[in-house]
Amino acid sequence: MARVRYLQRSHTDADQALFDRLERERKVPTANIFSALAHAPQVLDGFISYANTLRGSKLSPKLRELAILTVGHCTGSAYEIAHHQSHGLKAGISAEQLKAVPDFESSALFDDEERAVMALARESTLKVDVSEPTWRKAAAFLSERELVELVLTIGWYNSGVRIMGALAIELEDGYR
């Protein structure tokens, strides 16, 4: 059970403009993470803007989703994994690759670039500091801009899984 109630548009203390934005830019019904964060409307507004900016970055959507799914698996976040599998499929990740994310290093389903991105995501998530060899492998494929966008994405989704964990955000029925 979530540690805060999920605000809905119908609640008297709900910020209606924020729910307008959520309905315009996100799926309806509103995901539990957003309904929980709606208790802090200004922060949620910035949260949505940041996430949207990451989705519009130069970094390949497939690489972005592989990094996000790696964060989800490294942290054991069922919510993150469930929500980003559909994004991953849209970005070109195969169903077989989705299943292989936890074992990406030994899987022939990923190329060297994908493995380098996922290794950076794993190391950043589990150790915080990224080793020079791990960095160089990713840097062999990505521009400095893409590397910064990758690091921002990994950091952002690491914060997200920690928010979901602390608030005990539940997975919606449609994702179970």
Alpha carbon of 158 to those of 29, 143, 173: distances in Å?
24, 22, 23
Segment 52-64, tens digit of pLDDT:
999 999 999 999 9
Report which listed range, 8-22, 144-158, 161-175, is most confident. 144-158
Segment 68-85, tens digit of pLDDT:
999 999 999 999 999 999
C-beta atoms surrounding 139 within 10 Å: 15
Q: Average of pLDDT values for 148-158? A: 98
Q: Report pTM.
A: 0.94
Q: What pLDDT was estimated at residue 28? A: 66
Q: How many helices (H) and strands (E) does the chain have?
A: 9, 0
Q: What pLDDT was estimated at residue 42? A: 94
Q: What is the mean pLDDT of the chain?
A: 94
Least confident interval from 4-8, 24-28, 111-115: 24-28
